Amino acid sequence: MRAKLEVLALVLGFIGLFGTVATTAMPMWRVSAFIGANLIVMEELWEGLWMNCWSQADIKLQCKVYDSMLILPPELQAARGLMCVSIVLVVISLCVTGCGTQRSNCCGDNIKSKNITLVFGGSLYLLSCLTTLIPVSWVGHTVIRKFYNPLVMDAEKRELGPALFIGWATCGILLITGIIILFSYSKRRSQEAEPYADAYLMALGDARKEGSVYLERTPSSFHKHQEYV
């Protein structure tokens, strides 16, 4: 059962890695909002972390990389760094978790070292979930706040892009992966203590045997007198 959970965690980890990379690379973090007097529905603007794109009637797509990072709003600047950190953390988590699985040859038969490696990988998954959730939620909050701000013109308002929804789904997958790994660690930890408890009881029994005094049975003198009566 524990081996199946570890395999499931590895599969979910790969899915989380693909989701994190896709969220970082996709240019659809913020898309055009067709509201009010903004009736130009043939063209759609996509804004991402690295570039913005113009889509014309789903036929022609033009993208341009940002000339400078300083022209980006603060939430996109922070999202760049945090999403790159998330990708690195997920890659490290996959490697560490793979080394800590039961079927891995890493650490040999040292169960304690494998358990430490496994819990470290699970903690990294939870940290990568946090570093993915912060930028995605920050950008989403900014988009919603500006959308309902009456002082912002309709042409400048944006809607939530598909990349944000993929990012939130990826956060859920990374969170589930970390929980599964920590749950597997708790099961292995409880079973790791059982051999030590058995060995302690055996050693305690041997010590009692060594400390005991053997008394040889000797015939009673009273019994000898009774034999002659």
Phi, psi of 150 (to 5 degrees): -70, -15
* Greatest mean pLDDT range, 12-26, 61-75, 104-118: 12-26
pLDDT of residue 225: 47
Query: Which segments of 95-193 are extended strands (E)?
Result: 158-160
CA gap 21, 120 in Å, rounded: 22
CA gap 32, 54 in Å, rounded: 10
Q: Is 4 exposed, middle or buried (0-12, 13-18, 19+ CB in 10 A)?
A: exposed
* Greatest mean pLDDT range, 67-71, 144-148, 217-221: 144-148
Q: What is the pTM of this model?
A: 0.76
Selected residue with higher pLDDT from 214 and 150: 150
Task: Quick: pLDDT tens for 40-61.
Answer: 556 788 888 999 888 776 677 7
Domains of the chain: 2-26+72-192 (1.20.140.150)
Listed in sequence order, the residues at least 6 apart from 155 whose beta carbon sits closer than 8 Å to its beta carbon are 37, 38
CA gap 106, 37 in Å, rounded: 63
Q: For residue 112, give the nearest of 188, 9, 187, 5 by alpha carbon.
A: 188
C-alpha distances out from residue 102 to 13, 52, 90, 180, Å: 17, 46, 20, 14
pLDDT at 202 over 80: no
Beta-strand relationship, 60-65 and 51-56: antiparallel
* DSSP for 15-67, written as a single string: HHHHHHHHHHH-S-SEEE---TT----SEEEEE-SSEEEEEETTTEEEEEE-S
Phi, psi of 8 (to 5 degrees): -60, -40
Listed in sequence order, the residues at least 6 apart from 48 whose beta carbon sits closer than 8 Å to its beta carbon are 25, 26, 27, 28, 29, 161, 163
